[in-house]
Protein backbone atom coordinates (compact mmCIF):
# COMPACT_ATOMS: atom_id res chain seq x y z
CA UNK A 1 0.00 0.00 0.00
CA UNK A 2 1.38 3.42 -1.00
CA UNK A 3 0.74 6.01 1.72
CA UNK A 4 -0.14 9.47 0.35
CA UNK A 5 -0.05 12.97 1.80
CA UNK A 6 -2.09 15.64 -0.03
CA UNK A 7 -1.14 19.31 0.33
CA UNK A 8 -3.44 21.86 -1.30
CA UNK A 9 -4.99 25.02 0.15
CA UNK A 10 -8.29 24.40 -1.67
CA UNK A 11 -10.22 21.97 0.51
CA UNK A 12 -12.64 21.03 -2.29
CA UNK A 13 -9.83 20.13 -4.70
CA UNK A 14 -7.97 18.25 -1.95
CA UNK A 15 -11.08 16.31 -0.98
CA UNK A 16 -11.89 15.37 -4.59
CA UNK A 17 -8.33 14.20 -5.19
CA UNK A 18 -8.36 12.17 -1.98
CA UNK A 19 -11.66 10.49 -2.91
CA UNK A 20 -10.41 9.56 -6.39
CA UNK A 21 -7.02 8.25 -5.26
CA UNK A 22 -8.55 6.27 -2.39
CA UNK A 23 -10.55 4.29 -4.97
CA UNK A 24 -7.29 2.71 -6.15
CA UNK A 25 -6.63 -0.60 -4.34
CA UNK A 26 -2.94 0.12 -3.69
CA UNK A 27 -3.20 3.82 -2.71
CA UNK A 28 -4.15 5.17 0.71
CA UNK A 29 -4.46 8.88 1.57
CA UNK A 30 -3.14 9.03 5.15
CA UNK A 31 -2.97 12.83 5.62
CA UNK A 32 -4.22 16.10 4.17
CA UNK A 33 -2.86 19.61 4.84
CA UNK A 34 -3.78 23.05 3.53
CA UNK A 35 -0.47 24.83 4.08
CA UNK A 36 3.03 24.32 2.73
CA UNK A 37 4.64 24.73 6.14
CA UNK A 38 2.64 21.73 7.44
CA UNK A 39 3.93 19.28 4.81
CA UNK A 40 7.17 18.02 6.36
CA UNK A 41 5.70 17.43 9.85
CA UNK A 42 2.66 15.62 8.41
CA UNK A 43 4.87 13.42 6.20
CA UNK A 44 6.96 12.41 9.21
CA UNK A 45 3.95 11.88 11.51
CA UNK A 46 2.07 9.71 9.00
CA UNK A 47 5.12 8.03 7.37
CA UNK A 48 3.92 9.10 3.92
CA UNK A 49 5.54 7.51 0.86
CA UNK A 50 4.50 10.17 -1.66
CA UNK A 51 3.45 13.79 -1.02
CA UNK A 52 1.28 15.45 -3.67
CA UNK A 53 2.02 19.19 -3.43
CA UNK A 54 0.35 22.24 -4.92
CA UNK A 55 2.76 25.01 -6.00
CA UNK A 56 0.99 28.00 -4.48
CA UNK A 57 0.02 27.54 -0.83
CA UNK A 58 0.02 29.77 2.25
CA UNK A 59 2.81 29.42 4.79
CA UNK A 60 5.31 28.03 2.28
CA UNK A 61 5.08 27.43 -1.46
CA UNK A 62 5.18 23.90 -2.84
CA UNK A 63 8.76 24.19 -4.10
CA UNK A 64 10.04 25.24 -0.67
CA UNK A 65 7.89 22.48 0.88
CA UNK A 66 9.50 19.89 -1.43
CA UNK A 67 12.94 21.12 -0.35
CA UNK A 68 11.97 20.89 3.34
CA UNK A 69 10.42 17.47 2.77
CA UNK A 70 13.65 16.14 1.29
CA UNK A 71 15.48 17.27 4.44
CA UNK A 72 12.92 16.08 7.02
CA UNK A 73 11.61 12.91 5.37
CA UNK A 74 14.02 11.80 2.62
CA UNK A 75 12.12 8.56 1.99
CA UNK A 76 8.95 10.50 1.07
CA UNK A 77 8.89 11.51 -2.61
CA UNK A 78 7.40 14.84 -3.71
CA UNK A 79 5.01 15.03 -6.66
CA UNK A 80 3.87 18.50 -7.74
CA UNK A 81 0.20 18.54 -8.83
CA UNK A 82 -0.68 22.07 -9.79
CA UNK A 83 -2.92 24.42 -11.74
CA UNK A 84 0.18 26.48 -12.50
CA UNK A 85 1.68 24.59 -15.41
CA UNK A 86 4.64 26.89 -15.86
CA UNK A 87 7.98 25.68 -17.16
CA UNK A 88 9.94 27.67 -14.60
CA UNK A 89 8.00 26.13 -11.71
CA UNK A 90 8.88 22.72 -13.09
CA UNK A 91 12.57 23.57 -13.24
CA UNK A 92 12.63 24.93 -9.68
CA UNK A 93 10.59 22.00 -8.33
CA UNK A 94 13.02 19.48 -9.82
CA UNK A 95 15.97 21.43 -8.42
CA UNK A 96 14.26 21.27 -5.01
CA UNK A 97 14.10 17.48 -5.19
CA UNK A 98 10.60 16.82 -6.57
CA UNK A 99 10.23 13.50 -8.39
CA UNK A 100 7.33 14.52 -10.60
CA UNK A 101 5.34 17.45 -11.96
CA UNK A 102 1.84 17.21 -13.45
CA UNK A 103 -1.12 19.56 -13.84
CA UNK A 104 -4.39 19.19 -11.94
CA UNK A 105 -6.47 18.33 -15.01
CA UNK A 106 -4.53 15.06 -15.37
CA UNK A 107 -7.16 12.25 -15.46
CA UNK A 108 -7.51 10.36 -12.15
CA UNK A 109 -6.34 7.01 -13.54
CA UNK A 110 -3.28 8.66 -15.08
CA UNK A 111 -2.51 10.52 -11.82
CA UNK A 112 -2.65 7.23 -9.90
CA UNK A 113 -0.19 5.80 -12.42
CA UNK A 114 2.14 8.77 -11.95
CA UNK A 115 2.01 8.27 -8.17
CA UNK A 116 3.03 4.61 -8.59
CA UNK A 117 5.92 5.50 -10.89
CA UNK A 118 7.17 8.24 -8.55
CA UNK A 119 6.96 5.77 -5.66
CA UNK A 120 9.13 3.36 -7.66
CA UNK A 121 11.82 6.05 -7.86
CA UNK A 122 11.09 7.27 -11.39
CA UNK A 123 10.89 10.91 -12.45
CA UNK A 124 7.62 11.80 -14.16
CA UNK A 125 7.07 15.15 -15.89
CA UNK A 126 4.22 16.51 -18.00
CA UNK A 127 5.75 16.29 -21.53
CA UNK A 128 4.57 19.71 -22.74
CA UNK A 129 6.04 21.39 -19.65
CA UNK A 130 9.33 19.55 -20.12
CA UNK A 131 9.53 20.91 -23.69
CA UNK A 132 8.70 24.44 -22.49
CA UNK A 133 11.32 24.22 -19.77
CA UNK A 134 14.01 23.35 -22.30
CA UNK A 135 12.88 26.20 -24.55
CA UNK A 136 13.04 28.85 -21.79
CA UNK A 137 16.45 27.82 -20.41
CA UNK A 138 18.01 29.10 -17.20
CA UNK A 139 17.32 32.49 -15.65
CA UNK A 140 19.22 35.37 -17.31
CA UNK A 141 18.87 37.43 -14.11
CA UNK A 142 21.63 38.02 -11.59
CA UNK A 143 20.76 37.28 -7.94
CA UNK A 144 20.46 41.01 -7.21
CA UNK A 145 18.20 41.64 -10.24
CA UNK A 146 15.97 38.79 -9.08
CA UNK A 147 15.89 40.29 -5.56
CA UNK A 148 14.83 43.65 -6.97
CA UNK A 149 12.09 42.13 -9.15
CA UNK A 150 10.90 40.03 -6.21
CA UNK A 151 10.63 43.19 -4.12
CA UNK A 152 8.79 44.91 -6.99
CA UNK A 153 6.05 42.24 -7.09
CA UNK A 154 3.80 44.17 -4.69
CA UNK A 155 3.99 47.33 -6.80
CA UNK A 156 6.07 49.41 -4.38
CA UNK A 157 7.96 52.49 -5.53
CA UNK A 158 11.69 52.55 -6.26
CA UNK A 159 12.12 54.19 -2.84
CA UNK A 160 10.18 51.32 -1.18
CA UNK A 161 12.34 48.71 -2.91
CA UNK A 162 15.54 50.60 -2.03
CA UNK A 163 14.49 50.72 1.64
CA UNK A 164 13.56 47.02 1.71
CA UNK A 165 16.83 45.87 0.10
CA UNK A 166 19.04 48.56 1.70
CA UNK A 167 20.20 49.83 -1.69
CA UNK A 168 20.35 53.31 -3.18
CA UNK A 169 17.47 54.31 -5.44
CA UNK A 170 19.91 54.68 -8.35
CA UNK A 171 21.12 51.09 -7.88
CA UNK A 172 17.52 49.83 -7.79
CA UNK A 173 16.74 51.72 -11.03
CA UNK A 174 19.82 50.21 -12.69
CA UNK A 175 18.87 46.66 -11.66
CA UNK A 176 15.25 47.18 -12.79
CA UNK A 177 16.40 48.53 -16.14
CA UNK A 178 18.77 45.60 -16.63
CA UNK A 179 16.09 43.05 -15.64
CA UNK A 180 13.55 44.62 -18.02
CA UNK A 181 16.07 44.37 -20.85
CA UNK A 182 17.05 40.78 -20.10
CA UNK A 183 13.45 39.55 -19.91
CA UNK A 184 12.43 41.38 -23.09
CA UNK A 185 9.74 43.23 -21.16
CA UNK A 186 8.54 46.78 -21.74
CA UNK A 187 7.70 47.61 -18.13
CA UNK A 188 8.71 46.63 -14.63
CA UNK A 189 5.34 44.89 -14.09
CA UNK A 190 5.78 42.88 -17.29
CA UNK A 191 9.33 41.88 -16.26
CA UNK A 192 7.94 40.60 -12.94
CA UNK A 193 5.15 38.68 -14.70
CA UNK A 194 7.49 37.07 -17.27
CA UNK A 195 10.00 36.13 -14.57
CA UNK A 196 7.25 34.57 -12.45
CA UNK A 197 5.90 32.64 -15.45
CA UNK A 198 9.37 31.28 -16.13
CA UNK A 199 9.90 30.39 -12.48
CA UNK A 200 12.85 32.75 -12.07
CA UNK A 201 11.40 34.45 -8.97
CA UNK A 202 9.78 31.55 -7.14
CA UNK A 203 11.15 31.01 -3.61
Q: Range of 181's domain?
A: 143-197
pLDDT in tens, 12-62: 999 999 999 999 999 999 999 999 999 999 999 999 999 999 998 999 999
Q: Which residues contact 197 (CB under 8 A, 6 or more apart)?
A: 86, 88
pLDDT in tens, 49-75: 999 999 989 999 999 999 999 999 999
Residues 125 and 63 reside in one and the same domain:
yes
Model-wide pTM > 0.85: no
Between CA 9 and CA 33 the distance in angstroms is 7
Query: Band of the pLDDT at 90, cuts 50, 70, 90?
Result: confident
CATH number for 191? 1.10.10.10
Domain total in the chain: 2
Half-sphere exposure at residue 193, Cβ-oriented, CA atoms within 13 angstroms: 7
Pair (78, 106) in one structural domain:
yes
Nearest to 179 by CA among 196, 163, 156: 196
SS (H, E, C) 58-112: CCCCHHHHHHHHHHHCCCCEEEEEECCCCHHHHHHHHHCCCCEEEECCCCHHHHH
Assess if residue 202 is contained within a domain. no
Last residue in a domain, options 111, 135, 159: 135
CATH code of the domain containing 101: 3.40.50.2300
pLDDT at 130: 65
**Do 179 and 106 reside in the same domain of the chain?**
no
The Cα 43–Cα 45 span in angstroms is: 6
70 in the same domain as 14: yes
* In a shared domain, residues 12 and 84: yes
Does 112 share its domain with 33? yes
Which residues, at least 6 apart from 105, have a Cβ–Cβ distance to it below 8 Å?
none
Q: Given a cut of 60, is residue 135 above it in pLDDT? A: no
- Is the model more confident about 30 or about 139? 30
pLDDT at 134 over 90: no
Amino acid sequence: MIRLLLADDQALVRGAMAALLDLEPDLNVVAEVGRGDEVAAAAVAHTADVALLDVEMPGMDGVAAARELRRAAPSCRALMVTTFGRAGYLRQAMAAGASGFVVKDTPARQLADVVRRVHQGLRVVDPSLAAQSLAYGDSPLTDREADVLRAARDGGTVADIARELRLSEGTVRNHLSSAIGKTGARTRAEAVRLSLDNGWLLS
